[in-house]
Structure 1
Amino acid sequence: MLLWSLWSAILLLTPLEAAEEDDVRAGCSTAVNDLVYIVDGSWSVGTSDFETAKQWLINITSQFDISSQYTQVAVIQYSDTPRLEISLGIHQGGPKLIEAIQGITYLGGNTQTGRAIKFAVDHVFSSSQRASQVKNRIAVVVTDGKSQDDVVDASVEARAEGVTVFAVGVGSEITTSELVSIANRPSSAYVLYAEDYTTIDRIRDNMEQKLCEESVCPTRIPVASRDEKGFELLLGMNIQKKAKKTSGSLISEAAYSLTASTDITENTRDIFPEGLPPSYVFVATLRLKGSSSKLTFDLWRVLSKDKEIQAAVTLSGNDKSVTFTTTSRTENWQRITFKNGFQNLYDGKWHQLKVLVRPSQVTSFLDDQPIQKIMLEPVEPMYINGKTQVAKRRGTDITVPVEIQKLRLYCDPHQSERETACEIYSVCPLNRTATDEEEDCNCVVGPKGQAGLPGRMGFRGEKGREGPPGPDGKSGKDGTHGDLGPSGFTGMKGEVGPAGLSGDPGLKGLKGDRGDPGLSGETGPPGTKGLPADKGELGPPGEAGPMGEPGLPGSGGLVGTTGPKVSADCSF
């Protein structure tokens, strides 16, 4: 009996263990989202533009795997009142969802945006059948005009319930302050604009990227008074704990020195649990000294369970090149090699390397200078059951000695424009103090010389780079009430509005009580005798009728009496 129990336990555990060993892909398409579109259907939109808005929703939704396991989508159309067009989880597949969106009919009416947001929070998100499993609750509000009700309270309640709200304004009638009130902070990340519905598809890629960032990039990196979504690999890969701290490119900067005995390896599921977005920026500030400047190694790589490369940035000191590797829909992987412009990266000094990845192209930078842009084929979500490593010889687990000051992956591709290399003295020497090593001088330091003669005034410097946007300002104090203005002129009579909707039929009335029978009336007097009628004229004789059937034979007559007796006298 004991042996049988053990065997049963083994049989039960085996499928579970096998499932855990299977490698799985992760990315935007496999994110676990409850996504609710709140779409303006008021009179100002119009039938044609409303159809365009529906197609825009379809285009954006196509990047997700619509299923009970991954993303579920609901659609609310609103005007005077919100109308739930598609419930969460009712369509378990992309084609069915697309068909349902195409079948939505235009409402028309006024603009009650706040009421629609509250409806989404109270009745749509709360109806989800997988509230404990869903990782992201996202609402996208699409509107072309100012709301006729308050949006602030409803939006605050949405955020308090853990709903991330994006606001998409279309056209020139929108109010920026209202969109900012609706959306999450910072508004630069959660508010989008389109000139009109005919150009709304221009912000499709941006909207897709924002939704994907929200799905796969939960962590934040403090940068220039704002938080950027991404992955701080120095922290996530435990480099700060495993490597020796050393001087960085500036006195104010710290770096970490990796040696051959330093193993920087972590489970990919712990670093990128939801995979990577379609666009991101890889940034590394590093110094290659000695033999490391002559070797070929993966500065950063993500391996599958079978040790196939899913993503990597490879440095080659032999030919002074940089290679980016990623997945491919047609092959196991694709490699993009930047062969020119990286000679200085291997000169033994501090440098910043950036690789900007977009769905169709990859751009490389060195010390803020763009080097090369190369086209990229469509990629597949990467496997996450393997390992992520730093500074490893290609094809081995051997660590290459390297000094690293920054190692980050930003989800927002626009961070490539904001991220400067001014942490390096040679890039931004003004108002900076280099470390002794940065001077790279092996000479003997002599005594301090006498002050020289004053030099001539230098030329005016070039305009500096635009700094990162500042944080959102605090709300100003309420102003005093102005004096009552004069009465306006009576406006012209407006056009007759559209017919209102038919009201619901009223309730059926109760049956009345039966009344008592009335009293019998008195007998009336006899009526007067009518006058005799005149005798009518004699009508014409009728046609002869058909011969009747023979009558029945009559009964026998009575027997007659005996007559008198006569004598026989023959003479006359």
Structure 2
Amino acid sequence: MKLVLLWIIYVILKVTLPLSYSMAVSNKTACPLLRIDGYGPRQGYREKSDYSGYDLAEHFSLRKTSCGGEKTCFKLGSTPLIKDTQKIFTAGLPEEYSITALFRVRRNTKKERWALWKTLTRPGVLQNSIIIDGEKKVVEFTAKENGGSTLHYTFKSRELHPLFDRQWHKLGISIEETIISLYVDCKLIERRQTAKKNSIDLQGRSVIVGRASDDRPVDIELQRITIYCSPKQAAQENCCEVSDGMCNLQGDEELPISSSAAKAQQNTELTPESKCYCFPNKGEKGSQGEPGSPGEIGEKLLAQTFLPTPPRHGIDCGSPVYTLADNVALEIYL
């Protein structure tokens, strides 16, 4: 009897231990090697480049078709592109990552509202999404914060408008722990501070390039959609596929930045002292100068004076700032 019990325990351990081990491995975020044909990160043309991440077009088994000239794109069909999240991210997905997509909208879909990518829990509750709204010409990002509340951010910059002009464009989004950065054609458009976001539940489902209303594939030409296991990859991409003129940037050059993003970055980086537009404090009084020669007799005229006004930006710089007081005048005889 004792031998039978030991044999049963042995069989149970033999079956369950490998399953537990494989589950632990799949939950790690040591992402698989991702090979991309064509272009390396911001270094011009290369035959192949190695990164870690997931080619969503490959995982959704999209077939290639011609989309004009020498370009090929993926045939999206009419059936919703839905797949179990765990079957896509077989080695897990880190909390910080980036997603890039190369596409162009068509005439009849340039005002569509659609999800580039979204994930749902097993019961169908939205976890996160990247929505492209052609009617409003905005990009929206939704996620769950650690407390369970929904985080929603809308990028409204006018520099997003080219996404909807029916030309090829590359959209990149970097998701960090408390920052979301959005790129269009390898240029930083906007960066947002966020609350800490939950990691994605791998037990649910994922949808790509689906209409917001019914998840059916939107009628666009899609050349690439990739999730990288590094949030920095969106900033390291080049845009050779969009235009040869965007291939000249080298890895040591600074990333192009939009005017709105530069303004926001300047506001966050400047210290209060560097925003002080005041004149410096006066030094010590100098020695008496030589008397000058008498001037010529002048005419009577009306002149404006400079009067002190309060310091700008609420910063006490130690001396008043002087501006032209247009409403005050003083008669002076020269």
TM-score range, shorter chain: 0.5 to 0.7
Residue number in structure 2 paired with 1:245 = 65
In the alignment, the residues of structure 1 paired with residue 173 and residue 181 of structure 2 have an alpha-carbon distance, to the nearest angstrom, of 6
Q: For residue 295 of structure 1, report the CA deviation from its aligned partner.
A: 1.2
SS at match of 1:343: helix
Residue number in structure 2 paired with 1:384 = 202
TM-score when normalising by structure 1? 0.37
- Partner residue of 2:83 out of 261, 266, 270: 266
- Partner residue of 2:224 out of 406, 414, 418: 406
Residue number in structure 2 paired with 1:339 = 156
Q: What amino acid does structure 2 have at the position aligned with 1:345?
A: L
In the alignment, the residues of structure 1 paired with residue 169 and residue 27 of structure 2 have an alpha-carbon distance, to the nearest angstrom, of 31
Deviations 1:140-164 (A, max 9, x none): xxxxxxxxxxxxxxxxxxxxxxxxx
Q: Does 1:366 align with 2:253?
A: no
In the alignment, the residues of structure 1 paired with residue 222 and residue 117 of structure 2 have an alpha-carbon distance, to the nearest angstrom, of 12
Aligned partners of 2:28 and 2:92 also within 8 Å: no
Matching of residues 274-285 of structure 1 within 5 Å? 275-285=92-102
In the alignment, the residues of structure 2 paired with residue 415 and residue 327 of structure 1 have an alpha-carbon distance, to the nearest angstrom, of 23
Q: For residue 334 of structure 1, report the CA deviation from its aligned partner.
A: 1.2
Deviations 1:470-491 (A, max 9, x none): xxxxxxxxxxxxxxxxxxxxxx
Q: What amino acid does structure 2 have at the position aligned with 1:134?
A: Y
In the alignment, the residues of structure 2 paired with residue 136 and residue 270 of structure 1 have an alpha-carbon distance, to the nearest angstrom, of 12
In the alignment, the residues of structure 2 paired with residue 245 and residue 467 of structure 1 have an alpha-carbon distance, to the nearest angstrom, of 36
Matching of residues 96-175 of structure 1 within 5 Å? 133-135=20-22
Q: What amino acid does structure 2 have at the position aligned with 1:232?
A: D
Aligned partners of 2:95 and 2:198 also within 8 Å: no
Aligned partners of 2:53 and 2:226 also within 8 Å: yes
Q: What amino acid does structure 1 have at the position aligned with 2:67?
A: S
Aligned CA distance change for structure 1 residues 277 and 427 (closer, same or farther; 3 Å): farther
In the alignment, the residues of structure 2 paired with residue 348 and residue 132 of structure 1 have an alpha-carbon distance, to the nearest angstrom, of 49
Q: For residue 291 of structure 1, report the CA deviation from its aligned partner.
A: 2.3
In the alignment, the residues of structure 1 paired with residue 93 and residue 24 of structure 2 have an alpha-carbon distance, to the nearest angstrom, of 19
Q: For residue 283 of structure 1, report the CA deviation from its aligned partner.
A: 0.4
TM-score when normalising by structure 2? 0.61
Deviations 1:198-250 (A, max 9, x none): xxxxxxxxxxxxxxx9922432211444421101101001122xxx61236x7
SS at match of 1:133: helix
In the alignment, the residues of structure 1 paired with residue 73 and residue 223 of structure 2 have an alpha-carbon distance, to the nearest angstrom, of 4
Residue number in structure 1 paired with 2:52 = 229
Greater relative contact order (Cα < 8 A, sep 6+): 2
Residue number in structure 1 paired with 2:33 = 220
Residue number in structure 1 paired with 2:306 = none
Matching of residues 2-81 of structure 1 within 5 Å? none
In the alignment, the residues of structure 1 paired with residue 138 and residue 222 of structure 2 have an alpha-carbon distance, to the nearest angstrom, of 19
SS at match of 2:198: coil
In the alignment, the residues of structure 2 paired with residue 351 and residue 219 of structure 1 have an alpha-carbon distance, to the nearest angstrom, of 27
Q: For residue 427 of structure 1, report the CA deviation from its aligned partner.
A: 4.7
Aligned partners of 1:362 and 1:374 also within 8 Å: yes
Aligned partners of 1:367 and 1:427 also within 8 Å: no
SS at match of 1:382: coil
In the alignment, the residues of structure 2 paired with residue 358 and residue 315 of structure 1 have an alpha-carbon distance, to the nearest angstrom, of 20
In the alignment, the residues of structure 2 paired with residue 226 and residue 134 of structure 1 have an alpha-carbon distance, to the nearest angstrom, of 31
Aligned CA distance change for structure 1 residues 137 and 313 (closer, same or farther; 3 Å): closer
Aligned CA distance change for structure 1 residues 349 and 271 (closer, same or farther; 3 Å): same
In the alignment, the residues of structure 2 paired with residue 330 and residue 464 of structure 1 have an alpha-carbon distance, to the nearest angstrom, of 41
Residue number in structure 1 paired with 2:133 = 316
Deviations 1:30-60 (A, max 9, x none): xxxxxxxxxxxxxxxxxxxxxxxxxxxxxxx
In terms of fraction of residues, the more strand-rich structure is 2
RMSD: 2.9
Bigger CA radius of gyration: 1
Residue number in structure 1 paired with 2:251 = 466
Deviations 1:322-346 (A, max 9, x none): 1112221224421211111210000
In the alignment, the residues of structure 2 paired with residue 313 and residue 373 of structure 1 have an alpha-carbon distance, to the nearest angstrom, of 15
Residue number in structure 1 paired with 2:193 = 375
Aligned partners of 1:275 and 1:382 also within 8 Å: no
SS at match of 1:298: strand
Aligned CA distance change for structure 1 residues 246 and 467 (closer, same or farther; 3 Å): farther
Q: Does 1:292 align with 2:84?
A: no
Q: What amino acid does structure 2 have at the position aligned with 1:412?
A: S
In the alignment, the residues of structure 2 paired with residue 364 and residue 356 of structure 1 have an alpha-carbon distance, to the nearest angstrom, of 7
Matching of residues 377-456 of structure 1 within 5 Å? 377-425=195-243, 427-428=245-246
In the alignment, the residues of structure 1 paired with residue 114 and residue 129 of structure 2 have an alpha-carbon distance, to the nearest angstrom, of 10
Q: For residue 137 of structure 1, report the CA deviation from its aligned partner.
A: 9.7
Q: What amino acid does structure 1 have at the position aligned with 2:144?
A: T
Unaligned 5+ segments in structure 1 are: 1-128, 139-212, 431-462, 469-572
Aligned CA distance change for structure 1 residues 325 and 274 (closer, same or farther; 3 Å): farther
Aligned partners of 1:418 and 1:467 also within 8 Å: no
Matching of residues 85-100 of structure 1 within 5 Å? none
Deviations 1:424-459 (A, max 9, x none): 12653x7xxxxxxxxxxxxxxxxxxxxxxxxxxxxx
Aligned partners of 2:138 and 2:154 also within 8 Å: yes
SS at match of 1:312: strand
In the alignment, the residues of structure 2 paired with residue 427 and residue 413 of structure 1 have an alpha-carbon distance, to the nearest angstrom, of 25
Identity, % of aligned positions: 22
Deviations 1:87-145 (A, max 9, x none): xxxxxxxxxxxxxxxxxxxxxxxxxxxxxxxxxxxxxxxxxx9677335999xxxxxxx
Aligned CA distance change for structure 1 residues 301 and 427 (closer, same or farther; 3 Å): farther
Q: How many residues align?
A: 227
SS at match of 1:293: coil
Q: For residue 396 of structure 1, report the CA deviation from its aligned partner.
A: 2.1
Aligned partners of 1:392 and 1:398 also within 8 Å: yes
Aligned partners of 1:309 and 1:333 also within 8 Å: no
Aligned CA distance change for structure 1 residues 359 and 347 (closer, same or farther; 3 Å): same
Aligned partners of 2:122 and 2:204 also within 8 Å: yes
